[in-house]
Amino acid sequence: MAVKRNQKILRPEPLKGRFIFALSCIGLVFTALVARAAYIQVIEPDRLRYEGDLRTVRVAHDRIQRGNITDRNGVELAVSVPTHTVWADPKVIHDRNSLSDQRRWQALAEVFNTPVEQLLSKVENPQRRFVYLQRMITPGVANYVQQLAIPGVSLKEESRRFYPTGEISAHVIGLTNIDGEGLDGVEAIFDAHLTGTPGQRRFRRDGQGRVIEELEVTESELPQSIRLSIDQRIQAAAYSELKRAVRYHQATSGSVVVLNVHTGEVLAMVNSPSYNPNNRSNVLAHQLRNRAISDSFEPGSTVKPLVILEALQSGKYSLDSRLNTSPGWMTVGGRRVQDLRNEGELDLAGILARSSNVGTSRIALDLELEDLLETYYAVGFGTDTGINLLGESMGQMSHRNRWSPFEIAALSYGYGLSTTTLQLAQMYAVLGNGGVIRPLSILAVDEPHAGRQVFDPQLAREVVRLMEAVTREGGTGTRARVPGYRVAGKTGTTRKAVAGGYGDEYVGLFAGVLPASRPEIAIAVMINEPAGDSYHGGTIAAPVFATIGEQSMRILNIAPDDLNGRQLRVAGFTGGAHAAQ
């Protein structure tokens, strides 16, 4: 049908409501986008910023090694050596199908001495990105792992703690765990100083791994090295002699402490049995204990010089005083105090030389108990020594108002209290330096602590002179003599307490100072539970004292003070005491 030329063509008109609806939807979407953008950018941008940083920000740490530990002369006792650790990225291993090459994994397991199934179980989870396969490997093993070239298995540089002196200084130095954290001894006490703080660098990388922005740089705090008071030459000599004595007498254990009487520095502290901190695979728990500071025992006759000192301080006794110890025993409070034999009449030097229990008991019962206890406290019994090593025992001093006469008598010959080997050495250091007590130190000190005067200097020197009778003919400690030197000391033998009384095990002791004319060092020796019939301190501990004392005098270059009638060889010239002067 034809359309008329003049007829108008009608066009559809847009619906007004539909247009407004569409426009509103567009406006709402735009508003939502703007609001969301504003919320993300202004109100809460942290989450997306965090997500972005996870993908672009990296942190690099400086690698710093643990500080060294040296003896007083700079000999290294603990050092950190570079080593490698093998680690794996399980995701890379699975992505690159590394597990299909069974021969390489078998070779890796064999070099680690690990079952291959155990090794593969560590990398079976592809979601993990880091696992250790083997820590602290040798350079040869690291080179072998590198040559295996297993995709996803890499080497990481670390440091391993090494102890050049091994078992000799193990109890003093302590040890660290596999992550380099101190667990015991000096390693634990000074862990913060030895560790330091590694520096770090935060930076941003682009998609190609290029550094585009430095965010933060923190300087590292370098670790400090520790210089101990130990003289490794004396330490080695003491350990060798102690180990030999413990083995020879089939003893359970033993300890030796050597102190500088003027500064309170520990020149040697050794124990047997010990352990090798470089190989801990077969180490038993009891070997880790520093017995010189942790094991306490009744000191026996080694405290008798304190009774003599208090007797002189009281004014009731003088150097010429004599006591009758006949018939070699006495009854105190219904119980017997006795000597090995009837010593008859003895002066104060004789009481020490013959180690008369009857003599010291008579003196103690004649003194004021509080004054005697105060003398014991004055040398450090019942308190810490100030050395600040882990596991130190303070020993035990009884605190009670009433003491029976027998308890007072027993106290005079070293029963009813307990001390450690370190405390015993401190007691003799106090006597040797003129009655001054100062805190003991395991660190080398430039300026020693001033200390506190606890005894009259003249009386302390007199007691040291009286103790020389112990090592002369007729004394109980003649085996403690050191050629060319005057020795002042005291033997001690105590039975070990058990439930309900005392058993059949003994502790043999010898402690003293030398040279007696001008004391430089104090040495305390403890042999615990020797087997057989030889158990007296003068028999088993005194020879250890003598050998250590002789070597210490030579190491410290201390001039002899007992050359009468002796031959002295100096620079190829042989002569007597007169010729050597």
For residue 524, the domain's CATH number is 3.40.710.10
Neighbouring residues of 213: CB distance < 8 A, sequence distance ≥ 6? 203, 204
The answer to whether residue 369 is domain-embedded is yes
Counting as low any pLDDT under 50, the low residues of the chain are: 1, 570-581
Q: Are residues 354 and 256 in the same domain?
A: yes
pLDDT of residue 28: 87
Residue 372 burial by Cβ neighbours in a 10 Å radius (0-12, 13-18, 19+): buried
How many domains does one find in the chain? 2
DSSP string, 70-117: E-TTS-EEEEEEEEEEEEE-HHHHHHTTGGG-HHHHHHHHHHHT--HH
Enter the pTM of the model.
0.83
* Residue from 493, 496, 330, 319 nearest 413 by CA: 493
How many CA within 13 A on the CB side of residue 486?
17
Q: Are residues 246 and 221 in the same domain?
A: no
Q: Are residues 221 and 304 in the same domain?
A: no
Domain boundary among 211, 228, 245: 228
| Cα separation, 270 vs 246, whole angstroms | 12
The answer to whether residue 20 is domain-embedded is no
Q: Are residues 291 and 403 in the same domain?
A: yes
Helix (H) or strand (E) segment spanning residue 270: strand 266-272
The answer to whether residue 391 is domain-embedded is yes
Contact 339, 358 (CB under 8 A): yes
> Three-class SS string for 362-407?
HHHHHCCHHHHHHHHHHCCCCCCCCCCCCCCCCCEECCCCCCCHHH
The answer to whether residue 410 is domain-embedded is yes
pLDDT of residue 574: 44
Query: Judging by DSSP bridges, how do beta strands 396-397 and 266-272 pair with one another?
Result: unpaired
pLDDT of residue 579: 34
pLDDT tens digits for range 93-109: 888 888 888 888 888 88
Q: What's the alpha-carbon Rg for the chain, to the nearest Å?
A: 38
For residue 211, the domain's CATH number is 3.90.1310.10
Give percent helix, percent strand, percent coil of the chain, each to the nearest 5: 40, 25, 40
* Euclidean distance between the first and the last CA atom of the chain, given in angstroms as a whole number: 154
Helix (H) or strand (E) segment spanning residue 212: strand 211-218
Query: Judging by DSSP bridges, how do beta strands 131-137 and 153-162 pair with one another?
Result: unpaired
The answer to whether residue 50 is domain-embedded is no
Q: Are residues 214 and 246 in the same domain?
A: no
The answer to whether residue 116 is domain-embedded is no
Phi and psi for 286 in degrees, rounded to 5? -70, -20
Which domain range does residue 458 map to? Answer: 232-278+286-575
Question: Strand runs (DSSP E) across 89-193, as ranges?
Answer: 131-137, 153-162, 175-176, 182-184
Query: Judging by DSSP bridges, how do beta strands 501-514 and 488-498 pair with one another?
Result: antiparallel
* Residue from 314, 325, 386, 401 nearest 357 by CA: 325
Helix (H) or strand (E) segment spanning residue 574: strand 573-575
Tally Cβ neighbours within 10 Å of residue 143: 12
| Cα separation, 192 vs 23, whole angstroms | 69
Q: Are residues 262 and 335 in the same domain?
A: yes
Pick the catalytic residue: 274, 301, 412, 418?
301
Q: Are residues 290 and 380 in the same domain?
A: yes
Note if 301 is an active site residue. Answer: yes
The answer to whether residue 381 is domain-embedded is yes
DSSP string, 414-444: T-SEEB-HHHHHHHHHHHHTTSEE---BSB-
Q: Are residues 515 and 384 in the same domain?
A: yes
Peptide linkage before 273 cis (omega within 30 of 0): yes
Q: Are residues 73 and 171 in the same domain?
A: yes
pLDDT of residue 571: 45
Q: Are residues 222 and 236 in the same domain?
A: no
| Cα separation, 385 vs 359, whole angstroms | 30
- At residue 147, the 3 state secondary structure works out as helix
| Cα separation, 441 vs 267, whole angstroms | 10
Residues constituting the chain: 581
Per the structure block, which two tokens stand in for 382? 């019942």
Q: Are residues 399 and 334 in the same domain?
A: yes
| Cα separation, 558 vs 560, whole angstroms | 7
The answer to whether residue 361 is domain-embedded is yes
Per the structure block, which two tokens stand in for 24? 């509103």
Q: Are residues 310 and 213 in the same domain?
A: no
Q: Would you tell me the crossing angle of helices 369-378 and 304-314 to the nearest 10 degrees?
A: 120
| Cα separation, 302 vs 536, whole angstroms | 12
Contact 510, 256 (CB under 8 A): no
